[in-house]
Every structure is written in C-alpha cells, then in structure tokens.
C-alpha cells in the first residue's frame, strides 16, 4: 500500500497513544490521558489541536506542503466506551476505511489460546509487530496500566501466540501505594542514585523502579526456564510502553526496547487486513 496517511490509535485505560503513518513510516506520535467520559466531539477537537502542524491536516484535500490528509485509520482499544467514541471520530475522518483490531482480524501469527476473544487488542498488536520485526519465538513486555507479557512461540514452523501474564503496572502500583499510605507523597517515577534510598522520596522511588525490575526479571527468568524445560528455543525479550526504557535500563533480561511497538503493530495489522 502506498499513498496513505494512516491514523493509528492505541487506547489504554490510562493513556492513549496516537500515531500518524505516512505509508509504512511512523511520522509523528502523541500521548494523551484517556478520559473515559470524553465524547467524540471532544476527541475530535483534541486531535485537531495535536495535528495542527503544517502537512498534517484532518480535512479533505491537500495541505500546503502537499502531504495528503488522513486517508485511513486503525483503532487498537481496551476501553469499550472510548472504542465507540474514537470509532466515531475515525469514521468522520475516513468513512469506512477504519479497522478495529480484534482476534477476528487476519494476523501474521496463529493463536493457540482457549478463548481468542479474550486477548486484548493491544496484546495482538504487540505480538504482530514483534513477530514482524524479530520473528518467533519472542516475549513482549508491555508497560502500561497493567504490565503484560505476551509469548509467541514456534509451533510446526509457524509463529503462534500461546498466552501471557498480566500483573498490575508500575503506575498502578504507585497509585495504590500513595492512596493507602497517608505519609507518602506522590514521587516522580525514576530510579534514585542508590538502591537504598537516603530519603522517603528516594526510598519510594527505589521500591517502585527496582521493585518493578525485580518483578519483570523474575517473571521473564521463569518463562525462559519453562520454555527450556518444554524443549522450545529461547525467545527474544522485547519491552514497550511508556516506562519501558526506565525499567530496561536496569533489567538483566530485557534485550530490546521498542517504545512504539503497539502503534506499529496496529498499523501493520491494518495493512495486513486492507
């Protein structure tokens, strides 16, 4: 496919990532808070404000720079209320040229999972891009509202999604801590200089960041050990999501960081289904 300007939307419970793809190249990205009460009109206004740069227009016709307007859209959402609102926005922009990612889509991998409909759109997009970029076997760690692990193995020579692990995300854990501990204040989610904090702020930062590193490395190590026991080849470990870089900097198991893996996977699946 060529000559398209694809709007890709990754709608999560906490944040929504927005990407513009010119043909297959990711040209621009934005990240906004996911407002469960937002209407299609409000989201349209937000989208107009974000894409007001020359050459990125949300209207019929050519921009001054000669770049095309948005021609296609793909939606990867785990929030039903926002799925409806964003679907309406996308339909206003591109008519029927909107694809909503689900397990019924054509995929670049097989699914060996008892209830494929339970697999979130973000997990499918992550797996799709990971298989396309790195091949199988691959283990994706996605840092969002939840920290998701998605395992794609090789079965009969074909990349096959077999399952994953879902646990509370880093920001979710932090919010729970601050809401239940009266004397602890919200802190910036970054690693302190030393593991043992020299202040309450550093102690909390250490617990959150290094605690997440230990959780992720522990889970990944167990997954790799199980794959070895089953006689399967070792998967590559790829991280994505807003906090992937912070955790990967101290991880002993994460091999690659791809911040826009989900958006790129959504765009890939759009092209795969077009």
pLDDT digits (tens, 9 = 90+) for 103-149: 999 999 999 999 999 999 999 999 999 999 999 999 999 999 999 99
- Check pLDDT > 80 for residue 60: no
Task: Please compute the mean of the pLDDT values over residues 68-82 and round it to a whole number.
Answer: 90
Mean residue pLDDT of the chain comes to: 90
Between CA 171 and CA 84 the distance in angstroms is 26
Task: Please compute the mean of the pLDDT values over residues 214-231 and round it to a whole number.
Answer: 97
Q: What angle do CA 228, 232, 235 make, to 5 degrees?
A: 85
Whole-angstrom Cα Rg for the chain: 20
Is-contact 89 43, C-beta < 8 A?
yes
**Catalytic residue from among 10, 72, 122, 260:** 122
Instruction: Summarize pLDDT for 205-219 with one digit per residue, the tens.
Output: 999 999 999 999 999
- Check pLDDT > 70 for residue 272: yes
| Beta pairing partners, 237 | 139
Is-contact 119 113, C-beta < 8 A?
yes
Percent of the chain residues past pLDDT 90, beyond the cut: 71
Write down the H helix ranges in the chain.
Answer: 40-50, 80-94, 121-134, 170-180, 200-229, 244-248, 261-273
* pLDDT band with cut points at 50, 70 and 90 for residue 240: very high
Give me the pLDDT at residue 57, please. 47
- Check pLDDT > 70 for residue 7: yes
Domains of the chain: 5-100 (3.30.420.40), 130-261 (3.30.420.40)
> Do the bridges between strand 146-155 and strand 138-143 make them parallel or antiparallel, or are there none, so unpaired?
antiparallel
Establish whether 41 is a catalytic residue: no
Give me the pLDDT at residue 49, please. 87
Give me the pLDDT at residue 136, please. 97
- Check pLDDT > 70 for residue 56: no
* pLDDT band with cut points at 50, 70 and 90 for residue 63: very low
- Please count the CA atoms within 13 angstroms of the CA of 36 that sit on its side-chain side: 5
Between CA 81 and CA 100 the distance in angstroms is 14
Give me the pLDDT at residue 65, please. 47
Percent of the chain residues past pLDDT 70, beyond the cut: 92
- Please count the CA atoms within 13 angstroms of the CA of 152 that sit on its side-chain side: 30
3-state SS assignment for residue 84: helix
Residues in Cβ contact with 239 at an 8 Å cutoff, skipping those fewer than 6 apart: 140, 141, 142, 143, 247, 248, 251, 254, 256, 257, 258
> Do the bridges between strand 98-100 and strand 15-22 make them parallel or antiparallel, or are there none, so unpaired?
unpaired
- Check pLDDT > 70 for residue 62: no
Nearest by Cα to 128 from 274, 273, 269: 269
Give me the pLDDT at residue 183, please. 64
């Amino acid at each position: 496919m060529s000559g398209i300007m694809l709007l890709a939307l990754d709608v999560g419970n906490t944040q929504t990532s927005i990407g513009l793809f010119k043909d297959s190249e990711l040209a621009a990205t934005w990240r906004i808070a996911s407002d469960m009460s937002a209407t299609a009109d409000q989201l349209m206004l937000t989208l107009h404000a974000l894409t007001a740069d020359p050459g990125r227009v949300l209207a019929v016709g050519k921009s001054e720079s000669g770049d095309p307007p948005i021609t296609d859209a793909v939606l990867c959402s785990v929030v039903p209320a926002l799925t409806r609102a964003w679907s309406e926005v996308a339909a206003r922009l591109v008519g029927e040229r909107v694809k909503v990612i689900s397990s019924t889509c054509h995929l670049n991998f097989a699914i060996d999972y008892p209830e494929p409909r339970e697999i979130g759109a973000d997990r499918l997009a992550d797996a799709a891009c990971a298989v396309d970029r790195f091949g199988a076997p691959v283990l994706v760690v996605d840092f969002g509202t939840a920290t998701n692990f998605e395992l794609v193995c090789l079965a009969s020579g074909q990349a096959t999604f077999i399952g994953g692990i879902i646990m509370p995300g880093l920001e979710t854990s932090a919010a729970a801590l601050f809401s239940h501990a009266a004397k602890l204040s919200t802190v910036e989610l970054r690693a302190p200089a030393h593991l043992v904090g020299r202040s309450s702020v550093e102690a909390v930062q250490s617990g959150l960041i290094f605690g997440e590193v230990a959780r992720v490395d522990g889970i990944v190590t167990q997954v790799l050990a199980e794959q070895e026991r089953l006689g399967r080849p070792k998967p590559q470990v790829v991280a994505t999501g807003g906090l992937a870089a912070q955790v990967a900097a101290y991880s002993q198991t994460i091999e690659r960081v791809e911040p826009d893996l989900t958006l790129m996977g959504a765009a890939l699946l759009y092209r795969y289904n077009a």
